[in-house]
Structures are given as C-alpha cells and as structure tokens.
Amino acid sequence: MDELEPLTAPPTAKDILDAQERIRPYIHRTPIITSEKMNDLSAASNVRLFFKGEHLQKTGAFKARGALNAVMTHRNRAKAGAFVTHSSGNHGAALAWAARTMGFVAHIVMPKNAPKAKIEAVKSYGGIITFCEPTLQARETTAQQIQEQTGSVLIHPYDNYDIIAGQATATLELIEDAAQPLDAIYIPVGGGGLLAGAALANHYFGKARVVGCEPEQASDAWTSFKTGNWTPVQHPNTIADGLKTSLGRKNFPIIQKHVDDIILLSEDELKRAWDIVVSRTKQFIEPSAAAGVAAALKHDTQGSVGIMLCGGNMSLSIIDHI
C-alpha cells in the first residue's frame, strides 16, 4: 500500500484531482437537480439554478468525501487501527463510515446535547461515542485525551487540508456536471471546510463568483471575512445546527483569498428556503443545506448558479420548529 503524505499546505489542483480519484470507488457522484419552479422563485429574472445533491451522499452529507480522503491518506499512520474526532453529527458519522470502510474503528467525541438522529447515525456506522460538555474546549480536550489513551489518529472535522481537498471534490463535480459554465456558486459555511474546498475547486477549474452563506445567528465567518481578523463564534443559536461551528484557522486564509463574498440569512429566510426545497423539489434536506437556497432566492444573481445542498440528516421532530 502506497504511503501517502498528509497535506501541509492548501490543496493544489493536483491534490484535489488526486482526492477525487482516491475516493471515487467508495462515494456517490451525486446528481445535479434542476427545477423550473425554483428558477421562477429566485429574485433574479434570468437565472438557472443547479442544485448539487450532497444530501444524497454516503452518510447523508458531503462530509463523507473529506473524511474518507483523510482516512485513506492517514491509514498507514493508524498503527493502533483507530481514528478519533470531535463532531456534533455529520463529520462524526462520516469518519465512522470512512474508518469502517477502510477496516478501522473511529472514536467520536460528541456534545451531550447533539441531535438524537445524528447520535444514532454515528452508532449505525460503528462509531464509538464519548459524550462531553457542549463547548469547543470540552470537545477538543476530550478528543485529545482519547488520542493519548488509544493511540488513535486525530482527524479534525474541518481544520485539515486533507479534509478540505476531499470536500473540494463536491464543487469540482458541480462544475464538471452542470450543463453550462457557472456564473456563481452558493456554499453554506460553518467550519469552512466545504467553502474553502469550493473556493479552491472554482479557482482551479471554474470561473464562478463564490459566495459563502451563513446564518445571522452564527455569523463568525461573515465577521472574520469582513474584518480580516479570524473571529470564533459566540453563542450560535440557529436552526441550521450544522453551521454553528467556528470557522477553521486553516480555512480562513483560503476563504479570504478565493471567496468573493459571505452573506447572512435570517432564520425566517432559512426556514422559507427549507420549506420551498422540500415542497417544490421533494428533496429532503437539513436546515443547513437551505442556506445556499435562501441566498439564491434573496439575491439578484443572473445566469447559471450552483447551489450546494450539503446534507440531509435531521430528526423529523425538528419539523415542528421550521
């Protein structure tokens, strides 16, 4: 088995292509979904929307791409046969799946208030869960303790260049599979792994305007981008639970350099977008995936627009609050 070197700098075009080829046999090449009704609902008068269906990906989210790329890159270093991470849900499930796919086990540190559906998902993929207090410090400290106790390889959910390279493959596919060149791409942003990857994929392989989409009530990426100073999130409170995470330090410089703008969405705008996608396209997405849709419905972006439907993992009980 070839020894792969983990990335120590932002992924190059070759790194992204290598990641795409590496993970190709194990993941879905998710479909591009179009809807004339959605085009008509957009604020723009002349627009065609291309939705990248990552809610149909393995484990129900784009996270499977980065997790698998990281596991495959680090597998020769996993001498103890295990990986560890901290995650409120989607990355934890993705790492558990990726580790099991490659013949390893995964320890997943989760906040004790994590959504029940995401806890069950991690368990279903064989993840060994350790619960902690719902703070970033508690998550990181607990993951470090498990790493020291078990010899597991730590895979950060988003602040990791191998993760970013894997996530970039989703936007690379969007660029490749859209029926025409894209003028804009709307990407939800939490920790920034997906947005950083999208920005790099577009920089190397596309010519679109890349826009990050973030809840008003978890606006650290917007604040960091606008001020030029990395600013961690403080008390996020949004229905888009996948976007509550603080922007990663490795992701921030990539986003600063290659993202054109970050825009904020209100909770009402997120809820409306979620409802429209489910009712008009019959695609069951999670609220985080509605961020790009909400931005496209709100802003007058002309031409061909790519939108990342980043995930579809949510408890049905949350519908009462949308």
All structural domains of the chain, each given as residue ranges with its CATH number in brackets, are 13-62+160-321 (3.40.50.1100), 63-154 (3.40.50.1100)
What letter represents residue 42's amino acid?
S
pLDDT given at position 142: 97
Q: Of 35, 42, 87, 88, which is the active-site residue?
A: 88
Collapsed DSSP state (helix, strand, coil) of residue 317: helix
Count of residues making up the chain = 322
Interstrand relation of 261-265 and 105-111 (parallel, antiparallel or unpaired): unpaired
Looking at 80-84, 301-305, 306-310, which range is the least confident one? 301-305
pTM exceeds 0.85, yes or no: yes
Active site residue 271: no
Per DSSP, the residues of 129-151 read EEEE-SSHHHHHHHHHHHHHHH-
Active site residue 58: no
Contact (Cβ atoms closer than 8 angstroms) between residue 82 and residue 153: yes
Per-residue pLDDT for 170 more than 60? yes
Distance CA 30, CA 118 (A): 21
* pLDDT tens digit sequence for 218-247: 999 999 999 999 998 888 899 998 898 899
- The structure tokens 């679109």 sit at 208
- The structure tokens 């498990």 sit at 146
Please state, rounded to an integer, the average pLDDT across all residues of the chain: 93
Q: At CB < 8 A and 24+ separation, what contacts does 123-126 make?
A: 124/93, 125/59, 125/93, 125/96, 125/97, 125/100, 126/96, 126/99, 126/100
Q: Of 52, 58, 63, 271, which is the active-site residue?
A: 63
